Structure 1
Amino acid sequence: MSWTASSASSLLRGLTPHLVSSSLLVPWVWRGLPTCTRWVAATGHRAMSTASSALSTSTVESTHHDVLEITKQGLLLDKPAPTAVLLGWVGCQMRYLRKYAQVYADLGFNTVCGIMPTSSVFSGFTGPATDYGRFVMHTLATDKALHTGGVVISPFSNGGCIAYRYILDVLNNEPEFEDVRKNIKAVVMDSAPCYMTIPAGTRALSMALQVTNPIMYGLVFVGFTLFALTLAPWSRQTPTAFWNAMRDWDLGDHVMEAYLVSEVDKLMDFPALQALVAERQERRSTRPNGAPVDLVRFADSPHVSHLRTHPDLYRVVQHCRD
């Protein structure tokens, strides 16, 4: 079904018993949602709204010149602030990702924003993507303020999902990141994952390159097809391998999941995603005290445009799971 303000409000009330960490409960009052009023953590400490001037901003650069933009809360609370890790889409710019980060920052979150290079997203080799995932997790692991209050990861489109896939690899296989792993509380997929096909890949690449001319689009299609067919025998980035990774990932039953999708998204194979989420829901339902897995459908917002089209509803849905 399509979401409305009232249905989002009902979800908020229904998820209250499932919230894992009281430090993730923050205050907000939503216009048009009278039932979503101020929340105070069960431990008794009062969270406070955050002014932009209270934030400190910094950047971290890897040896490969990948950049993360970090904001930290400047308010003194008796518990550390939670952190939202935002993984941008192919063609994303940091100024776009900051709009999503501001939603979290206004609610008392630290934020870590990163965009994996397009060359790593489309590479047939795993090294660059693994290095990027390790860089993001190392940044969190070496700063207690960025993981002890709980972590929410939000990948956008397949560019963010591919980064997330390799973050999963390092979280599950490298002991130095165990503290970060156990503090992950929620994953919010925005317009993702998309089942990878040559037409979908062409549309995504054309969108990133801002191609509108039909002739140029045809050239992108031919080039991407040759690229995909050449690398397929050597790559882990086959559609089946990627989809299996998105279907089977596991960070524990306590991790809440939300998939924000639109029925008019031209890059999304909606039936395929619906089936993937249904399988994850069924698996989680067999486990005691498993956190919710939800598919949130928007009727009219384009790819990675839910915030622009439904700003209030987007925020309620995001933070129901945070």
Structure 2
Amino acid sequence: MSKYQQISTQDGQNQHQDDSLEYFIRFPTPKNGNGAEQNGTSSEADYVFIHNENTVPIVLLLGWAGCQDKYLMKYSKIYEDRGLITVRYTAPVENLFWKRSSLKVIGEKILKLIYDMNFDAHPLFFHIFSNGGAYMYQHINFAMRRSPRPVQVQGMIFDSAPGERRFSSLYGAISAIYGRHRSFSWLVSFLISATLTVMWLLEDFASDIECFADYRQSKGVFVKKICFEKSEHVKHFIMHPQHYVKCVCRFISDCLASYQASGPSTKID
């Protein structure tokens, strides 16, 4: 029996509250490749990820502002049905808009969770939704950069985030916490390491989100862009379920192949 099966609950899911930090972890039992059928997708998207059972990949999903967990759960199920461990967290709306200084502490707590669960020994992926998820990721990123202990972040998926018009509010939030002496260009370059592979899920190739993706690509980040036509903000999976599952699974699979070929990545710099 694998390590992650041994610490599963009956339904494979645990809800935790740690000093008002509410998150959900699922340690699934693989379903022998039938997960795609449960998600209503074709066999073309039915990926079975190859990995060491002692270092099962982790997908950390960060929800959009106001996201209810029952909706974020639909996305985590994509990965759970294929045998990956998932962590779901959505920052409370009041923290995103009125108690922004608390995000620094939340970011540190999420990093502590990664360490406490020994997830830093696993390949880790972030699946980030809209600006609420981008806000939260930024503070986790700050915490990781301050820590001497490496975290093996292998890839990131941005669903509908972040956009140029919305990014100014992100800068304002970060500046309020860390000080305005840090320039906007410094913050943009700080968001994602050039060593990562990043996928952007867009609703329009002419959108401000694509401008941000293009900027990161110009700085050396390996970027994949997927456009979902006639799709609304954070509704790509609802409008295009089969294509969405195929894209995110192929992305994770490609990143894992690179991880296995080159070994664990180093600390984000």
Q: Does TM-score exceed 0.5, indicating one fold? A: yes
Higher alpha-carbon deviation: 295-304 or 73-82: 73-82
* 1:246-257 aligned within 5 A: 246-251=188-193, 253=195, 255-257=196-198
Structure 1 residue runs without a partner (length 5+): 1-51, 202-228, 265-269, 286-291
Distance change in 2, residues 1:271/1:111 (3 Å): same
Deviation at 1:79, TM superposition (A): 3.7
Match of 1:62 in 2: 18
* 1:261-280 aligned within 5 A: 261-263=202-204, 270-280=206-216
8 A Cα contact 1:236 1:242, kept in partner: no
Could you say what the CA RMSD is over the residues aligned between the two structures, in angstroms?
A: 3.3
TM norm structure 2: 0.72
Match of 1:164 in 2: 137
Match of 1:186 in 2: 155
8 A Cα contact 1:125 1:235, kept in partner: yes
8 A Cα contact 1:84 1:151, kept in partner: yes
Deviation at 1:155, TM superposition (A): 1.2
Match of 1:296 in 2: 226
Match of 1:6 in 2: none
1:108 aligns with 2:49: no
The percentage of counterpart residues that share the same residue type is: 21
Higher alpha-carbon deviation: 103-112 or 68-77: 68-77
Which one of 26, 32, 38 corresponds to residue 71 of structure 1?
26
Kindly provide the CA deviation profile for residues 74-130 of structure 1, in whole angstroms up to 9, marking residues without a partner as x.
46964421110000111100000000000010111100000101111113643x001
Match of 2:46 in 1: none
Aligned-partner Cα distance in 1 for 2:126–2:174: 29
Distance change in 2, residues 1:250/1:232 (3 Å): closer
8 A Cα contact 1:55 1:74, kept in partner: no
Kindly provide the CA deviation profile for residues 204-233 of structure 1, in whole angstroms up to 9, marking residues without a partner as x.
xxxxxxxxxxxxxxxxxxxxxxxxx9x999
Aligned-partner Cα distance in 2 for 1:104–1:246: 29
Match of 2:55 in 1: 80
Which secondary structure does the structure 1 equivalent of 2:198 belong to? strand
Which one of 248, 254, 260 corresponds to residue 318 of structure 1?
248
When the two structures are aligned, how many residues end up with a matched partner?
A: 222
8 A Cα contact 1:125 1:236, kept in partner: no
Distance change in 2, residues 1:78/1:117 (3 Å): closer
Q: Which amino acid aligns with 1:193?
A: P
Distance change in 2, residues 1:117/1:258 (3 Å): same
Distance change in 2, residues 1:55/1:242 (3 Å): farther
Kindly provide the CA deviation profile for residues 132-178 of structure 1, in whole angstroms up to 9, marking residues without a partner as x.
1111111111112x342311101100000000010110000122xx2
Which secondary structure does the structure 1 equivalent of 2:155 belong to? strand
8 A Cα contact 1:86 1:112, kept in partner: yes
TM norm structure 1: 0.61
Which secondary structure does the structure 2 equivalent of 1:121 belong to? helix
Aligned-partner Cα distance in 2 for 1:278–1:77: 34
Structure 2 residue runs without a partner (length 5+): 1-7, 31-50, 253-269
Which secondary structure does the structure 1 equivalent of 2:140 belong to? helix
Deviation at 1:235, TM superposition (A): 6.1
